[in-house]
Amino acid sequence: MNTDNHAKIQKSSKQDTFEHPDFYGMDSLLTEEHIMVRGAVRDFVKQEISPYIESWAQNAHFPLEMVKKFGDIGAFGPQLPTEYGCGGMDYISYGLIMQEIERGDSGMRSTASVQGSLVMYPIYKFGNEEQRKKYLPKLASGEWLGCFGLTEPDHGSNPSGMTTNFKDMGDHYLLNGAKMWISNAPHADVAVVWAKNEEGRIHGLIVERGMEGFSTPTTHGKWSLRASATGELVFDNVKVPKENLLPNKSGLGAPMMCLDSARYGIAWGAIGAAMDCYESARKYCAERIQFDKPIGSFQLQQKKLAEMLTEITKAQLLNFRLGQLFNEGKATTPQISMAKRNAVETALNIAREARQMHGGMGITGEYPMMRHMANLESVVTYEGTHDIHLLILGAEITGIPAFK
């Protein structure tokens, strides 16, 4: 995205007074650390994202300075061990961080969850100690930005069909191919790239900016995630040192494990966006006068608010239980698919209803719904489309995979 229009960025005069809905008293299930972490990130979003996000989105501006700020508050890889500069927190803390950031904007959450779940997680999980010590502290601090290269121009929902490949040249690997729709790519210092070796086996490689033949063209013209940087990864005979191969896991299961971690964060994050839209609609219903009374006094508006709160509450409970399962090491891919799919569908429906409740004002940057709605159209597609998650659940239920 365009990063040269910083002069156009305007700070909103509206104060962010968000307080989350907690109809079932779920805060009583959280620890003091959970509440402290959530509060710190919420304050950060109110100060560093909310006043600028509409202007960033309107101008298709990715605020590169946010990378270091996210590092400073521990938003990158908070669930990874402290010995690598990470937070050492549990998965519920991680979920709450993603919820608060996406309440600010899905693009901002994408930046954070790609870094933590799709770049740092595979280096920690599948890398060796030398790789962990070299990359994780710099990624955790925000000194470096990372991206994850799996999707290709012709292989999205079917990543096993990838054509990006590498050959053993004796003292190095030679990497060729291209990846598409890659968050953070235009500014990434490091890319975790999935490619096939000469036997057709998928491996992860760490590719660094500056390697000859490696380029990251920016994707322009997006109507969604406009405050996030998206691009391609192009590999033209890139010489990758052998020590940059992730040694501890190969096959498609390796990137799928990364996606499980990221999808978990999306499940929490999307509900953050839903909460923002709900809170905006609830406040607007009290302020907007029609027929000599607040529109919140009309039955149809109350129905919409009641349904929004019900769906948010259901998703909160689903996410919390999934967080417990993650903490116990028991969360399954179909369980994660259910939560991701449910959260994004819930958030999209709430964004659309909230937009209608605001009337014409709902299409402007005065209120967040149109931005959230457009962002969520990407979130419903990436890291497993809505339909693919449905089929993952269907295969779990019936034992018959419908997409093979």
Q: Please answer whether residues 182 and 217 qualify as being in contact, where contact means their C-beta atoms are separated by less than 8 angstroms.
A: no
Average pLDDT over the chain, rounded to whole?
95
Instruction: Answer yes or no: is pLDDT of 217 > 60.
Output: yes
> Domains of the chain (ranges plus CATH)?
26-141 (1.10.540.10), 146-251 (2.40.110.10), 253-398 (1.20.140.10)
Give the per-residue pLDDT at 3.
Answer: 47
Q: pLDDT category, 4, cuts 50, 70, 90?
A: low
- State the pTM of this model: 0.95
For residue 319, give every residue at least 6 positions away whose Cβ sits within 8 Å of its Cβ, in sequence order, or none: 95, 267, 268, 271, 339, 343
Say how far apart CA 114 and CA 258 lie, in whole Å.
10
- Give me the percent of the chain exceeding a pLDDT of 70: 98
**Phi, psi values for residue 334, rounded to 5°:** -65, -35
> Catalytic residue at 396?
no
| Catalytic residue chosen out of the listed positions 65, 311, 383, 396 | 383
Q: What is the maximal distance between C-alpha atoms in the chain?
A: 80
Instruction: Answer yes or no: is pLDDT of 314 > 90.
Output: yes
Predicted confidence (pLDDT) per residue in 225-236, tens digit:
999 999 999 999
Q: What is the mean pLDDT of residues 205-222?
A: 97
Q: pLDDT category, 5, cuts 50, 70, 90?
A: low
Q: pLDDT category, 7, cuts 50, 70, 90?
A: low
Predicted confidence (pLDDT) per residue in 105-138, tens digit:
999 999 999 999 999 999 999 999 999 999 999 9
Predicted confidence (pLDDT) per residue in 45-90, tens digit:
999 999 999 999 999 999 999 999 999 999 999 999 999 999 999 9
